[in-house]
Each structure stands twice: as structure tokens, then as C-alpha cells.
């Protein structure tokens, strides 16, 4: 990894040096214009930059537009200044002013941003307004993140995104989207500035404490299938985390937090813009001992009783460290993060408390699921008039560690019947207490991508953008380890052959094309992507992912009708495990078809925006676990409706989201079902924020969950049993206060200490956190 970083750094410095020599003349012209502005000769700014700004690049071009706008404001040329601000925002939709900017300029930027509407880049790979996106989108701003009181990404998404709900898989922070989920978070694509965060071996990306919220400028969520742009994993949604820029920070910020149950958090953030170089770097750590609950034997899968730990992070803290650089069309990003969640219970089919402190650690990790991943992305963007090309090279690595307690109490039952293992293990493990399994794997992925956008205008009524691209990935599983033990800390079986068996390489190639054509009040948006993957066993998977949408836009409302298909290829980890357990059938890709109709009303009353979305989903070949094996054992058809409401005034803001889902037909391992397990048919969330005083914000988050069916699996028969669980209403409360450079915040989750449980795929009901609180102090230098 270090060698890879060194190579990337060398390439970046070489390319930057070349770019520097090409741009010396432009920089000199800009410096002359800036000096003229400083000494009050504002007329010279227009003379020096007016005819040249179109040929500038990157952040230098943004700086030139900013300087031209400032100069025209000094000359009281309002319309000219607005034109340059609009050009600036087209170059950088996420541009933010800095504290030293004149108030007139700040107000102009905010007014034009508001008039242009919120801008996103995820839906069509190019900047566009929310009402132009071909699918329903939820945009979560930095202010909304604070108002939610969310401690991690999962809690923020649940507060604002209809259809995103919590499910529990015992050893991972997990979510469902429109009732579709898996044992780990494998169905939603998570990205950081457009770079995939999901593991290439497991498809997992957990929205946990390993993804810092302090660095986030906004979160763009595509609701529904998105494989036409992003390929596999983008099955039910895409979450794109957009980081701040250095200019947004313009300094250094330190933040410390303390809470109950051993919560400790620290955040550092530095950002600065130096002419055409923008720098942002961040660091975050989080630790929690967790909350202990006593579980009696009547609620235990194997009859044992004892304490479980809920919300514990493990022996090592979660962390997130990263860096972004933007310079003359070059962009570089590096991020490394780690998370570990303590497993409250033993393995799914035994599902009992265990003596957490009796088990020894592997690589410093206690029982649970841990992942360390690193991501690097170097890209260069070049404009030639109406054509924009972007070339990228990427590197990703993941170190996955899964440490399960199989069963703590000695058993005479045949574990092979529920775990899918050999009968040899039965004789090895019978009557042994404290049986555990440890599995790890290290993988890496190299990628090369070329994307382009061609803008055209046929006449005043017909214009559009043609987007296209190709992407190649090479994936390698470089090592793995499998250990089976007993008596709490004694190795019984160290399968050294697993390291050799697990290794493998896979190659994937994809290409996409998308047309966004606008005529009068209509937008036609259609895309098609072809993915081809050669698996480690030479089996080739090919998938076509189409999307077509028709959008009608009016000043006060808009409507969208779309169809899309998405897929997620079966994870490498599942396929290798099945093969190791002598399962010869190949796992196929999971498929989702979705038809959506969205109607949005903008300002029917001042400050009010209402969106109603209806969808019809057809899912096929969904992968479900049975013991340690996995199979394409699920199908489902569902009909649903989503409501999103936003209302804001100068001092008050409210966000409401609701979802209702009706299961028309579903199947789980040949078992017919008429409802989704572990997710409710009705759910809702509301966030309210009020500013009674300057610098003070009071906020609350309410979440309502309807009745739901949970399931558990009998240890001896592996039969699925269903149980109806009552709904619940939860309330979080918080306050933020800013005075000068100081920030204070205090948040309480589950204010009324509601006692409730939640289940998930392959696990029974898990006790959820009671009343947790966290207080923070921050200072900006």
C-alpha cells in the first residue's frame, strides 16, 4: 500500500509540474488582476480577465470568475456581477463563500444558489438541479446533518430518506431500502466524491462511525435502481458523500465529544485554498464501551443466559482519515477508515449471549465484524469547448475480519446440519464449550476509467448532454485465514489451505452511454450500461442495465416517470465460501426492476416543497444465507409510496419523510410470504429545527415505525418462524450554540428510554440502545 501511495504521489507531482509550466502565463495575468483589485483599480480587472477567463482551468478559473464578480460589484454593475457568479457556480456547484468576502457578494451567491435550486451531480453524472434528476433524489445538507442529531451516517439517512430503515445483523450496522436488505449492507452503493466505498470482495459498506460526518458538505441519495450509471451494488439506492472543499473551511477546526457508555470522539479538519490549489484533510476517531443488557435463558437460542453488549465498538476505535487535493483540473483523494462492532450474540442459528471477556483476540480484535479499507483516486478533467473528458485511476484495498462465536454451551446437536459444514466437524466440536470461528481476507482492486460529456444545442428549444464512459477493474484476493477453535481460546483447526484456496483474480469491464435532451418544458433522460465480469472460475457474467425517464417541468411543480433495472453480482466471498463447502451451483447476480412516478410541488406556499413518489419493484434471485452457505433463494414484488416534505422560514425548518409498502408476492427459500420480514409496512420521520436566539439552534428528531414481522430460525430444524412486533415512536433532542469561533452541541438519542428490539437477516431479535447522549465542544482557528 505504501508503495502504491508513493507511485501515485510521484505521478501527481509530475503531472502537477507539467500543469504548472503550462499555466504560468494565466497565473501571472490573474495575479496582475488581483493586485489591481487590491489597490482599487477595479476597471483593470475586466480588461485583464474578461477575454481570457474562458481559457483558464480548474480552481484558477473559479478564482477569476469570483474576482470579476467582485470587481463588477464595486462598479455597481449588478447584472454583470450576477453573470460571473452564475459562471462560477456552473464551474463548481458546491462553491461556498469565505468569511472575508464582502456581504454583497455573499448574498448574491446565496440568492443565485437558491434561485438555481439545489444542485447535485450523482443522478446524471453531471451537475443538474433536483427537479431535472431522472429519479427521486434526497439531498441532505450540512445544516440538515446537524439538525438531525445523527451520530453516524446511518442515523442521518434514516432521518431524511423515505424507505431507509434500520435492520440488525448482529455484528454490523445495517440498513434496508424499500424492504430490500441482506446480512451485511450489500445492496446500497456508498460513494465518497463519486468513488466507490463498497468492498470488492464482500460488497459491504457499513454507514457507521468509520465515515466521519464533519468533512461532509452534502449527501446525495438516489432512491431506486442506479446500475445504468454505477453498475453492480447500486441495486436499491446510491449514497454519494460530497466532502467540503478547502475554501469552505478556510482554517483549522478541532472538536472533542464525550458521552455515556464510554463514548469518546475526536475530530480534526483543515482546509485552505491557495490560488488554484484547494486542500482538505480530516481525521476522526470514535470509541464506545457499549451498553450491557441481561438476557434470560427463555430468550436464548441454546438455553444459555447472560449479558450482551449493544453499541460497543470493540478493542480498537473506529477511525476515518483522508485528504483531497484539487489543482488545475487534477483531483486527488485518499481515504482510509476502520470500523469494528461488537457482536451482542453468538452465531445466528445458536443466537445466545456469550462471555465476551473470556475469548482471546485475533490481531487485536474481539468477537465481531471489523473492516479496514483504503481508497485512492487520481483524476484529470479537461474541457475542449462543449466536450469535457475525465480520466481516472483508482486503488482500493480491504482487510475484512469476521470473528464469530458459534456456540458457548457444549452441544450434542449436529452443527453440520445448520452450518453447512462437514460431518468431520461434528466429531471435532461435540461437547466442547466456547466454540468460535475466525475468518479474515485481504483484497485489492485497481481501476481505470474514462468519462466524457458532450453538450449540444440544436436551437433555442432543443439542447442536451451526451455522456459516455468506460471502466476497467482488476480485483485480487491476496490472502485469507480460517481458524476454528474451542474452550474459548484454543485453536482446534487452522485450515492453512484456505489461504491458497481463497486467492483469486477477477476482471471486469463496463461501458455506459446516457442522453439527456431538453426541449421546452420536457426532459428525456435515457441511459444504458453493459457490465462484463470474468470470475475467478472463468465463468463470465454479463448484465445490461437500462434506464429511461421522462420529466415535465413547470415553475411551481414537476413530474417524472421512469423505469430502471439494476443488479449486484454475487460477492466473491460468498462464492468462494460456497465452493469451499462443496456447493457446486454458481451464485447468480441479484436483479431489481423498478417503475417510479414522482410529482413535486415547489413553493405552493412560501417555503414549502412537497414530493410524492410511487414505485413498483420486482426483485429476483435475491441472495439469502443458510448457515455458512448462500443461495439465490428470494424473490419479491412490492408496491410503495414515499412522501417528502420540507418547510422553512428564517428561523424554523421542518423535514418530513414517510413510506408505505405493500408486498404483493414474496418468496424466501420456497416459503411464500405476504409481508417483508423485519421492516414495517409503514414508517415515518420528522426533523424540526428552531433558532430562538442568534447562534442557538434547538432541534428534535421523531421516528415512527409501524408493526412489523420479525423472524427467527430454530437451531435444530432451521425452520423460519414469524412473530408480529408492535410499532414504536422514538424521539431525539439536541441543541447547538455558536459564539465567535466556539461551537457547543448536546444531543440525546431515545430521549424517553424506549425499550425495543430489532431483527435482521439470519439473526433473532437484538436489544437496541436505550438513552444515549453525547456532548461536543469545537473551536475553529
Q: What is the pLDDT of residues 565-575, one digit of tens each?
A: 999 999 999 99
pLDDT digits (tens, 9 = 90+) for 346-369: 876 678 899 988 998 888 888 888
Q: Are strands 237-243 and 188-192 parallel, antiparallel or unpaired?
A: parallel
The residue among 695, 727, 704, 713 whose CA lies nearest residue 760 is 713
Compute the distance between CA of residue 379 and CA of residue 391 in angstroms, rounded to an integer: 5
pLDDT higher than threshold 60 for residue 245: yes
| Torsion angles phi and psi, residue 187, rounded to 5 | -105, -10
**In angstroms, what CA-CA distances link 450 with 439, 440, 467, 496, 581?**
36, 33, 11, 41, 40
Tell me the whole-structure pTM to 2 decimals.
Answer: 0.88
- 660 in helix, strand or coil? strand
pLDDT higher than threshold 90 for residue 393: yes
Q: Please report the sign of the dihedral spanned by the C-alpha atoms of residue 92, residue 93, residue 98, residue 100.
A: positive
Q: What is the pLDDT of residue 331?
A: 95
Query: For 363, left (φ over 0), alpha (ψ -120 to 50), or beta?
Result: left
What are 653's strand-pairing partners?
648, 689
Mean pLDDT of 323-334: 94
Mean pLDDT of 476-499: 84
Q: Are strands 763-767 and 237-243 parallel, antiparallel or unpaired?
A: unpaired
- 114 in helix, strand or coil? helix
Compute the distance between CA of residue 121 and CA of residue 133 in angstroms, rounded to an integer: 9
Higher pLDDT, 275 or 132: 132
Burial class (CB in 10 A: 0-12, 13-18, 19+), 585: exposed
Compute the distance between CA of residue 60 and CA of residue 503 in angstroms, rounded to an integer: 46
Q: How confident is the model at residue 716 (pLDDT cuts 50, 70, 90)?
A: very low
Compute the distance between CA of residue 297 and CA of residue 351 in angstroms, rounded to an integer: 11
pLDDT higher than threshold 70 for residue 322: yes
Q: Which residues contact 66 (CB under 8 A, 6 or more apart)?
A: 84, 88
Cell numbers that stand for 169 in this block: 445483523
Q: What is the pLDDT of residue 57?
A: 72
Of 479-488, 651-660, 765-774, the poorest mean pLDDT is in 479-488
Query: Which H helix or E strand runs over 418?
Result: helix 416-419
704 in Cβ contact with 754 (< 8 Å): no
Higher pLDDT, 563 or 603: 563
pLDDT higher than threshold 50 for residue 132: yes
292 in Cβ contact with 260 (< 8 Å): no
pLDDT higher than threshold 50 for residue 548: yes
Q: Which residues contact 760 (CB under 8 A, 6 or more apart)?
A: 167, 168, 169, 170, 174, 181, 183, 678, 766
What are 762's strand-pairing partners?
none
Q: What is the pLDDT of residue 91?
A: 74
Amino acid at each position: 500500500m505504501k508503495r502504491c501511495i508513493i507511485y501515485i504521489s510521484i505521478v501527481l507531482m509530475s503531472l502537477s509540474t507539467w500543469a504548472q509550466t503550462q499555466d504560468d502565463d494565466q497565473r501571472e495575468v490573474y495575479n496582475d488582476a488581483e493586485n489591481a483589485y487590491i489597490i482599487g483599480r477595479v476597471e483593470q480587472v475586466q480588461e485583464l480577465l474578461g477575454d481570457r477567463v474562458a481559457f483558464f482551468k480548474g480552481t484558477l478559473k473559479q478564482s477569476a470568475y469570483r474576482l470579476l464578480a467582485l470587481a463588477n460589484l464595486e462598479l455597481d454593475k449588478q447584472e454583470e456581477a450576477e453573470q460571473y457568479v452564475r459562471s462560477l457556480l456552473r464551474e463548481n456547484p458546491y462553491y461556498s463563500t469565505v468569511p472575508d468576502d464582502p456581504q454583497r457578494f455573499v448574498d448574491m451567491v446565496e440568492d443565485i444558489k437558491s434561485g438555481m435550486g439545489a444542485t447535485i451531480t450523482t443522478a446524471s453524472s453531471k451537475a443538474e438541479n433536483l427537479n431535472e434528476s431522472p429519479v427521486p433524489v434526497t439531498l441532505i445538507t450540512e445544516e440538515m446533518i446537524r439538525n438531525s442529531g445523527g451520530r453516524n451516517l446511518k442515523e442521518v439517512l434514516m432521518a431524511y430518506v423515505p424507505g431507509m430503515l434500520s435492520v440488525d445483523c448482529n455484528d454490523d450496522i445495517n440498513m434496508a431500502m424499500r424492504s430490500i436488505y441482506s446480512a451485511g449492507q450489500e445492496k446500497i452503493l456508498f460513494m465518497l466524491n463519486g468513488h466507490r466505498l463498497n468492498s470488492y470482495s464482500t460488497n459491504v459498506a457499513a454507514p457507521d462511525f468509520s465515515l466521519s460526518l464533519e468533512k461532509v458538505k452534502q449527501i446525495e441519495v438516489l432512491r431506486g435502481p442506479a446500475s445504468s450509471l454505477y453498475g453492480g451494488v447500486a441495486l436499491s439506492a446510491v449514497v454519494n458523500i460530497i466532502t467540503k472543499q478547502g475554501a469552505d473551511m478556510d482554517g483549522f477546526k478541532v472538536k472533542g465529544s464525550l458521552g455515556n457508555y464510554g463514548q469518546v470522539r475526536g475530530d480534526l479538519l483543515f482546509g485552505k485554498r491557495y490560488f488554484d490549489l484547494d486542500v482538505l484533510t480530516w481525521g476522526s476517531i470514535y470509541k464506545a464501551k457499549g451498553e450491557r443488557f441481561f438476557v434470560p435463558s427463555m430468550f436464548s437460542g441454546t438455553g444459555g443466559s447472560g449479558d450482551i453488549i449493544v453499541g460497543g465498538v470493540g478493542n480498537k476505535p473506529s477511525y476515518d482519515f483522508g485528504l483531497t487535493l484539487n489543482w488545475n483540473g487534477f483531483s486527488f483523494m485518499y481515504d482510509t477508515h476502520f470500523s469494528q462492532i461488537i457482536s451482542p450474540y453468538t452465531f445466528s442459528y445458536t443466537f445466545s449471549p456469550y462471555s465476551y471477556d473470556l475469548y482471546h483476540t485475533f490481531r487485536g480484535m474481539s468477537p465481531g465484524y471489523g473492516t479496514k479499507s483504503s481508497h485512492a483516486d487520481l483524476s484529470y478533467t479537461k474541457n475542449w469547448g462543449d466536450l469535457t473528458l475525465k480520466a481516472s485511476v483508482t486503488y482500493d484495498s480491504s482487510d475484512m475480519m469476521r470473528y464469530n462465536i458459534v456456540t458457548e454451551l457444549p452441544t450434542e446437536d449436529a452443527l453440520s446440519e445448520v452450518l453447512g459444514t462437514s460431518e468431520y466437524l461434528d466429531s471435532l466440536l461435540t461437547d466442547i464449550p466456547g466454540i468460535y470461528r475466525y475468518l479474515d481476507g485481504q483484497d485489492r482492486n485497481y481501476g481505470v476509467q474514462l468519462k466524457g460529456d458532450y453538450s449540444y444545442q440544436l436551437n433555442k428549444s432543443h439542447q442536451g448532454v451526451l455522456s459516455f464512459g468506460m471502466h476497467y477493474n482488476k480485483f485480487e484476493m491476496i490472502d485469507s485465514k480460517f481458524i476454528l477453535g474451542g474452550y474459548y481460546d484454543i485453536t482446534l483447526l487452522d485450515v492453512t489451505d484456505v489461504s491458497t484456496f481463497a486467492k483469486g483474480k477477477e476482471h471486469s469491464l463496463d461501458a455506459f452511454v446516457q442522453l439527456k435532451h431538453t426541449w421546452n418544458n420536457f426532459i428525456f433522460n435515457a441511459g444504458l450500461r453493459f457490465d462484463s465480469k470474468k470470475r475467478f472460475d472463468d465463468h463470465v457474467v454479463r448484465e445490461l442495465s437500462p434506464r429511461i425517464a421522462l420529466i415535465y417541468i413547470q415553475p411551481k411543480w414537476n413530474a417524472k416517470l421512469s423505469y430502471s433495472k439494476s443488479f449486484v453480482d454475487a460477492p466473491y466471498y460468498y462464492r468462494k465460501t460456497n465452493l469451499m463447502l462443496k456447493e457446486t451451483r454458481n451464485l447468480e447476480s441479484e436483479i431489481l426492476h423498478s417503475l417510479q412516478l414522482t410529482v413535486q410541488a415547489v413553493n405552493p406556499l412560501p417555503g414549502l416543497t412537497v414530493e410524492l413518489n410511487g414505485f413498483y419493484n420486482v426483485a429476483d434471485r435475491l441472495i439469502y444465507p443458510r448457515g455458512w452457505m448462500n443461495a439465490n433463494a428470494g424473490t419479491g414484488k412490492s408496491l410503495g409510496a414515499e412522501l417528502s416534505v420540507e418547510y422553512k422560514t428564517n428561523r424554523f425548518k421542518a423535514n418530513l419523510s414517510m413510506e408505505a409498502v405493500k408486498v404483493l408476492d414474496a418468496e424466501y427459500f420456497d416459503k411464500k410470504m405476504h409481508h417483508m420480514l423485519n421492516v414495517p409496512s409503514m414508517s415515518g420521520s420528522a426533523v424540526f429545527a428552531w433558532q430562538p436566539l442568534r447562534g442557538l439552534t434547538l432541534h428534535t428528531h421523531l421516528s415512527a415505525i409501524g408493526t412489523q414481522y420479525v423472524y427467527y430460525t430454530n437451531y435444530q430444524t432451521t425452520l423460519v418462524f414469524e412473530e408480529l412486533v408492535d410499532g414504536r415512536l422514538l424521539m431525539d433532542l439536541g441543541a447547538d450554540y455558536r459564539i465567535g469561533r466556539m461551537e457547543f452541541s448536546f444531543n440525546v438519542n431515545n430521549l424517553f428510554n424506549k425499550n425495543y428490539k430489532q431483527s435482521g437477516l439470519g439473526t433473532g431479535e437484538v436489544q437496541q440502545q436505550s438513552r444515549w447522549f453525547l456532548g461536543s465542544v469545537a473551536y475553529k482557528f
